[in-house]
Amino acid sequence: MRPDRADQLFFQFKESVPSDRTAMLADMLHRADDRCYGELCATSMHNPLIIVLISVFLGGLGVDRFMLGDIGMGVAKLLLGWLTLGIWPLIDIYFCYKRALDLNMQKISDAIARYGYNSGPAKGSDAYSAPYGYPGQGGHPGGAPYRGGPYQSDPYQGAPSQGDRGDTTGNGDNGKTE
């Protein structure tokens, strides 16, 4: 994505995602295809402050969970929250806040994954090596990049290549004979 667009979206989204994932967000936006810009601009985010306020005032009724799309948890909280003497709704304020941030990150990630990533390092970075890999890098069959998104594990990550079997004899000579 063009750097000016990526920076604009980063500043738009940085307060709506977990603080420990802002670097990942910036990288994802810079590597994203330009075609996803419109969809990212139109993506509706959960405002974490609104979620906290709803949790404080209407959390005992499960409204916060209904807003986040956790219908089952909302019903359970509505029906059983009073059994915990208000402890569940109180603790759930924090969990709803974190859930809103995680859902926002997931929405951004899904929107970018629909269009894929650019096939090279992010503009302005030195030979970037991401966990997804670029063509010709990593342990992917045929050097193909992994495009599963940041929340899915790479099935080929850490798998030894065919030529790298390591020491199978246990004598430290990597299976070499003299």
pLDDT in tens, 122-159: 555 544 444 444 443 343 344 444 455 454 444 444 44
Domain for residue 22, yes or no?
Answer: yes
Q: What is the pLDDT of residues 54-64, one digit of tens each?
A: 999 999 999 99
Query: 1-13: b or e for each residue (b if 16 or more CB lie within 10 Å)?
Result: beeebbebbbeeb
For residue 6, how many C-alpha atoms fall within 13 Å in the half-sphere facing its CB?
Answer: 22
Q: What is the mean pLDDT of the chain?
A: 78
| Residue 72 tokens, joined | 């089952």
Determine, yes or no, domain membership for 176: no
Phi-psi region of 166 (alpha: psi -120 to 50; beta: other; left: phi over 0): left
pLDDT for the residue numbered 1: 87
Evaluate whether residue 174 is within a structural domain.
Answer: no
Q: Give every CB contact of residue 93 below 8 A, 6+ residues apart in sequence.
A: 52, 55, 56, 59, 64
Which pLDDT score, from 0 to 100, does residue 119 have?
59
Q: Does residue 155 fall inside a structural domain?
A: no
Answer whether residue 153 is part of any domain: no
Provide CB contacts within 8 A for 66, sequence distance 6+.
Answer: 74
Residue 117, SS3 per DSSP:
strand
Residue 177 lies in a domain: no
Number of domains the chain contains? 1
CB 57 within 8 A of CB 49: no
In-domain check, residue 41 = yes
- Across the range 67-77, mean pLDDT stands at 96
The pTM (predicted TM-score) of the whole model is: 0.66
What pLDDT, in 10s, does the model give residues 21-69?
999 999 999 999 999 999 999 999 999 999 999 999 999 999 999 999 9
Range of the domain at 19: 3-115
Fill in the DSSP letter of residue 17: S
